[in-house]
Structure 1
Amino acid sequence: MRIVDFSTHLPGPLAAHLLAELGADVLKVERPGTGDGNRDRRATIAGLGDLHVALNSGTRSLAVDSRSARWPEIVGACARWADAVIVGARPESARRLALDFASLTTHNPSLVYCGISGYGARGPWSSLPAHGQNVDARAGAVPLNQDGRRFFTRPGWRPVGAPLAGVFAALGVLAGLQRRSERGDAQCVHVSLWHCAMWWNWRELTSLANDEAPFPDHCAIGPRYAVYACSDDLPLLVCPIEEKFWRRFVELTDLPASLASRGTWQVGGTDFGYPDEENLIAAAMTAKSSQEWSSVLADADIPFAPVLDAAEALASEHAAASALFRTTAVSGGQVNLVSAPLTWGGDAALPPPLTPPPELGEHTAQILAELGLVADTEDNGSTVSR
């Protein structure tokens, strides 16, 4: 796949990075002087911006100023070279830069076009500027606590619309390439960060849109699907909600035997329990440590999980065995990057290293030559400016 990424910040570069992990040749088109918005992040890995390392490894950099007289020429050449382009901009901004679907397909009538914007291509919010938290706030996806007249996002909250937009954009590009192979014409897909944040709550929204009861919070599902403290005060999530699991659980925890047959198993095959069971289960779980219960429940094939933080999950033997990372080399040494959660044919071998994150404009002369264009002699082709 040949991908040209005209986007910046998170969603588009994440989509391009995922496609690079799948083997695509990705050209990043960046502003001279500053590059994309990930290069100047203060959080650093090996002395480089963390998002720059995480998202730009495996790509090549073409630095060109959108105000340059050469901009139309280079954009046209990129469109002809590409199988797909990724454009991160509000619809009117894309049109102004000649990066809209209609403009780019004049250069390549079989191009796959993926546009990414905050609120989509239509609707009253489509022209609004957006950062990740903006779209989450408008999608009901920002949990808040209040202290006086100040509101604060709850601890542990992470933006959802922006990273999901990157995943869906990569999926849209792949689907577009497949549709093009079947139909032979250009394909246009648009990804809205807001729509992605809304999709994240698909279960709740499905209930609300169909006048059903609100989907329960996980903490309110029931005592048979809940987190309990063990004798060492460590949390353990237990999930014996199917009849066979519940009967084993009652026996192993010495709960009253009369509870074993308690449940409406014929309805969906699961039962989340009854309020009077919560204290009984909580008391039973204090009989053993988290490690002891983990061994007992695993042997009994009952669903459970210790509740780990990110550092504990990373330090687990399973993380080491799961090809969780791929590497890239930077001047500060080797860097580990979380890999796309895909393995081929069940093979969990470590994926090959990615090329290092490029210096701004590092490949400009090389890329211009590939596009059949002549590099500017005054700056040796490292950037194309005004």
Structure 2
Amino acid sequence: MERKATGPLAGVRILDLTTVMMGPSATQYLAELGADVIKVEAPAGDPIRGIAPGRHPEMGGLFMNANTGKRSIVLDLKHGPARDALLRLAESADVLVYNIRPQAMARLGLSYEDVAAHRPDIIYAGLFGFGQDGPYAAQPAYDDLIQGASLIPWLMHKAGAAMPRYMPSAIADRVVGLAAVSAINAALYHREKTGEGQRIDVPMFETMVGFVIADHLGGLTFDPPLDQGGYPRLLALQRKPYKTSDGYVCALVYNDKQWRAFYEAVGEGDAFATDPRLASMNTRNQHIDELYGEVAARFATRTTADWMELLKAADIPVMPYHGLDTIFDDPHLKAIGFFAEDEHPTEGRIRRVRAAGTWSKTQPGHVRHAPRKGADTESILHEAGLDKAAIAAATKAG
């Protein structure tokens, strides 16, 4: 079931030539904000369509959770009529987003200059591995590679993992996707003021290095360096959920007030005043691993429920330790209706997440479900001004 877009980008049309995760996650955010996102797929479809599980081929859960709110059109852009159809669509589009290398777009006849010839004020956004002025420019990039090159496995190992490892989340794809959303919205604002479109490159490597390293430059910020870098609290071996007598709990004792309150809550009120390690945030940071270890030993003596009650009463930040078996029962998420259940027109009953945040005027939200491949091809081409004969000819030609 489709709903009228009410978000702040209602009326903005986006041509989405992206696949896999980084680009689709960016355009899904834009769709949630109200944009009309047209997903342009090759005949084989987005590669992640086939990643199981799913009730039908090409409608796997991973695909569905990165492509809600979009319409799908199939165009084989290696053929002239399909390319011409895309350029016809570009005439009414505000944004074109792609995530192959710029050289490949140029070979398809879809460079910025090619597209801008049909829509001069287009926002032409490329999401790819590396800035085009460096030696990595033409290299392929995937989330794992960018995580590794932007310090994440090194930091995981330094923080206590037995070996370097990637985060079990497509964190680079998601972060760079959000960076692209910010850049596209800023470009739309600039165009609103000036009438100017422009090309935007959003490189994964540079975006992630900046995102990660800001926490860990430390003394390397200065010349000459004051230390070897690294934020001790984030790298502490004991920075992890606390093991209780019957499970785990996530708590953070951080500022002076909270450390004092913690020791008072466990009946050791004098410790904060007498232990020199606790004197300031700086001294705690110098001894953070041993302090966290001592806190962890105390957590092991009580149940999770006891700690939740005790820490809330002491105004110390605490949250439940969730897994996929418990997250759907979180009382806060249930109260705000974060997980919704809907009837997909072809995939049956599904669970989805709602757009986070509350807007007083232009609330973003769910507009349509993830599309079957090419489900909207004919209607989109008709919107572009092609009659039935032209659509039939374009379909026959790819």
Name the stretch that deviates more: 77-86 or 114-123: 114-123
Determine what percentage of the aligned residue pairs are the same residue.
25
Q: Secondary structure at the match of 2:66?
A: helix
More displaced 10-residue stretch of structure 1: 179-188 or 234-243? 234-243
Q: Which moves more between the two structures, 110-119 or 53-62?
A: 53-62
The Cα shift of 1:62 comes to 1.6
| Structure 2, gaps ≥5 residues long | 1-11
The count of residues paired between Structure 1 and Structure 2 equals 376
SS at match of 1:308: coil
Contact 2:123 2:197 in 1 (8 A): yes
Q: Measure the CA separation in 1 of the matches of 2:276 and 2:56.
A: 55
Q: CA deviation at 1:108?
A: 1.0
Alpha-carbon shift at residue 266 of structure 1 (Å) = 8.4
Partner of 1:253: 266
Q: In the alignment, residue 329 of structure 2 is paired with which amino acid?
A: A
Shift of 1:334: 2.3
Choose from 324, 347, 356 the match for 2:338. Answer: 324
Determine the C-alpha separation between the residues in 2 that align with 1:289 and 1:333. 41
Q: Contact 1:250 / 1:259 at 8 angstroms: preserved in 2?
A: yes
* Other-structure match for 2:45: 35
Give the distance between the partners of 2:187 and 2:38, measured in 1 at CA.
19
Range 134-143 or range 297-306, more displaced: 134-143
User: Which fold has the larger relative contact order, with Cα–Cα distance below 8 Å and residues 6 or more apart in sequence?
Assistant: 2
**Inter-partner Cα distance in structure 1 for 2:369 and 2:78:** 29
| Residue of structure 1 equivalent to 2:8 | none
**How big is the alpha-carbon RMSD for the aligned residues of Structure 1 and Structure 2?**
3.3
CA distance change for structure 1 residues 134 and 45 in 2, over 3 Å: closer, same or farther? farther
Measured in 2, the distance between the counterparts of 1:144 and 1:220 equals 7
SS at match of 1:44: coil
Amino acid at match of 2:359: W
Q: 2:65 aligns to what SS in structure 1?
A: helix
Quick one: structure 1 residues 309 and 30, their matched pair in 2 at CA, closer, same or farther if it must change by over 3 Å?
same
Given candidates 157, 181, 184, the residue that maps to 1:173 is 184
Secondary structure of 2:356's counterpart equals coil
Following superposition, the deviation at residue 261 of structure 1 comes to 5.3
Q: Is the deviation greater in 278-287 or in 181-190? A: 278-287
Residues 152 and 65 (structure 1), Cα distance of their counterparts in 2 relative to 1, 3 Å cut: farther
Residue 79 of structure 2 aligns with an amino acid whose one-letter code is S
Deviation at 1:5, TM superposition (A): 0.7
The 2-side partners of 1:280 and 1:266 are apart by 16
Q: 1:281 is matched with which residue?
A: 295
Q: Which amino acid aligns with 1:365?
A: E
Q: CA deviation at 1:258?
A: 4.0
Deviation at 1:296, TM superposition (A): 1.3
**Pairwise CA distance, 1:277:** 4.8
SS at match of 1:189: strand
User: Counterpart of 2:325 in 1: which secondary structure?
Assistant: helix
Question: Partner residue of 1:60?
Answer: 71
Match of 1:183 in 2: 194
Q: Does the C-alpha gap of structure 1 residues 343 and 80 become closer, same or farther in structure 2, counting only changes over 3 Å?
A: same
Where structure 1 has 5 or more consecutive residues not aligned to the other structure, the ranges are none
What letter corresponds to residue 99 of structure 2 in structure 1?
G
- SS of equivalent to 1:248: helix
The structure that is helix-richer by fraction is: 2
What is the distance in 1 between the residues matched to 2:128 and 2:293?
49
**Deviation for aligned residue 1:201:** 0.9
* Bigger strand fraction: 1
Q: Greater CA deviation, 84-93 or 207-216?
A: 207-216
Separation of aligned partners in 1, 2:198 and 2:283 = 44
Cα distance in 1 for residues equivalent to 2:47 and 2:60: 10
| Cα separation, 1, equivalents of 2:149 and 2:107 | 27
The one of 299, 319, 323 equivalent to 1:309 is: 323
- Give the counterpart of 2:175 among 164, 167, 171: 164
Q: CA deviation at 1:384?
A: 5.8
Among 348, 363, 368, which residue is 2:376 paired with?
A: 363
Alignment partners' CA distance in 2, 1:23 and 1:181: 17
Task: State whether residues 78 and 108 of structure 2, in contact with CA within 8 Å, keep that contact through their aligned partners in structure 1.
Answer: no
Offset of residue 352 of structure 1: 5.7
Correspondence 1:173-212 to 2 at 5 A: 173-204=184-215, 206-207=217-218, 208=220, 210=222, 211-212=225-226
Partner of 2:84: 73
2:232 and 2:285 in contact (8 A); partners too: no
TM-score of the pair, normalised by structure 1? 0.84
Letter in 2 for 1:171: S
Task: Note the alpha carbon deviations across 1:185-244, whole angstroms, 9 max, x for none.
Answer: 112221112223323313345334543532235465598x76433233x23344333222
